Amino acid sequence: MLKSLGRIVLLVGLVAQAKAVGVAIGTVTNVSVGLDNVAVYITANNASPCGSGWFYIFAADSDDQTVNRITALAMTSWTTEATVLINGVSVICNQGTASRFTSMQTAN
């Protein structure tokens, strides 16, 4: 029983780490809001794992509150040129809608 609980804790930790993979760092230079997704064009800086391009978050991959928060932050970055970091489950660069992210934060 204790070993099983330990495995569950380890798996939850690995899943949490998997969601924290840095995908791109830069400024948002365009935003497109669709019916079920938000797309942001990131102009990448030199520290970015991916180069400049479009990245997507889909409503089905997250909850409404997270999507709304990301949309607001993307719009703020777009208008203020603040640097942001987007994270995803994996780093997929410039592959259309396969270039997904799960979170966004300011990169101060």
Which stretches within the chain are classed as H helix? 2-18, 64-80
How far apart (Å, rounded) are the C-alpha atoms in residues 36 and 63?
11
| pLDDT tens figures, 16-49 | 444 568 999 999 999 999 888 999 999 999 999 9
47: amino acid identity, one letter: A
Query: What topology is assigned to 22-106 in CATH?
Result: OB fold (Dihydrolipoamide Acetyltransferase, E2P) (2.40.50)
Read off the pTM: 0.78
Residue 12 CA to chain centroid, in angstroms?
Answer: 19
Share of the chain above pLDDT 90, in %: 56
pLDDT, the chain, mean = 83
Q: Provide the residue ranges of all domains of the chain, joining segments of one domain with +.
A: 22-106
Q: Is pLDDT above 60 for 107?
A: yes
**Structure-token pair, residue 38:** 């938000």
Q: Which of the two residues, 76 and 2, has the higher pLDDT score?
A: 76
| pLDDT tens figures, 67-83 | 999 999 999 999 999 99
